[in-house]
């Protein structure tokens, strides 16, 4: 069984400040972990993925995430937020049969 918990349903930051979106997971397997972004009326886009290689994963648009097994966490960060980063972000765990289990999402708001 696998599950994922996104600790914040909404996060608000000022443009140019760091972003932290938190995610904890539970998995019976050695997990694959993903972060997806969903802009309004657009399909889900893969930001980055962890598949048991380097624990610090770099993704697109300056995002990165660190896999911490001891904390069962996979938090998403970005050093400096941009207005275009405003969107819904989903933490996802992949398991057997390539089935994806989605978190409930975090709405990121970026203010001037």
Partner 1 sequence: GAVVSQHPSWVICKSGTSVKIECRSLDFQATTMFWYRQFPKQSLMLMATSNEGSKATYEQGVEKDKFLINHASLTLSTLTVTSAHPEDSSFYICSARGGGAGEQFFGPGTRLTVL
Rg, C-alpha atoms of the chain: 13
Q: Is 100 exposed, middle or buried (0-12, 13-18, 19+ CB in 10 A)?
A: middle
Q: Of the ranges 13-21, 40-48, 67-75, 77-85, which one interacts with partner 1 (CB under 8 A)?
A: 40-48
**Residue 104 touches partner 1, criterion: CB under 8 A:** yes
Phi, psi (deg, nearest 5) at residue 37: -120, 140
Q: Which of 22, 44, 66, 72 binds partner 1 (CB under 8 A)?
A: 44
CB of 18: closest distance to partner 1 in angstroms?
Answer: 25
63: tokens are: 């995002």
What is the spatial distance between Cα 84 and Cα 67, in angstroms, rounded to a whole number? Answer: 25
Q: Which of 36, 50, 67, 74 binds partner 1 (CB under 8 A)?
A: 36
**Residue 45 touches partner 1, criterion: CB under 8 A:** yes
- CB nearer to partner 1: give 40 or 56: 40
């Amino acid at each position: 069984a696998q599950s994922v918990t996104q600790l914040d349903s909404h996060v608000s930051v000022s443009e140019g400040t760091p972003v932290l979106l938190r995610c904890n997971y539970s998995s019976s397997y050695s997990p694959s972990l993903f972060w997806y972004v969903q802009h309004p009326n657009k399909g889900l886009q893969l930001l980055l993925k962890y598949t048991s290689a380097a624990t610090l994963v770099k993704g697109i648009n300056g995002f990165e995430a660190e896999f911490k097994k001891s904390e069962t966490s996979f938090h998403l960060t970005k050093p400096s937020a941009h207005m275009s980063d405003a969107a819904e972000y989903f933490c996802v765990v992949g398991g057997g049969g390539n089935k994806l289990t989605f978190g409930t999402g975090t709405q990121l708001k970026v203010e001037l």
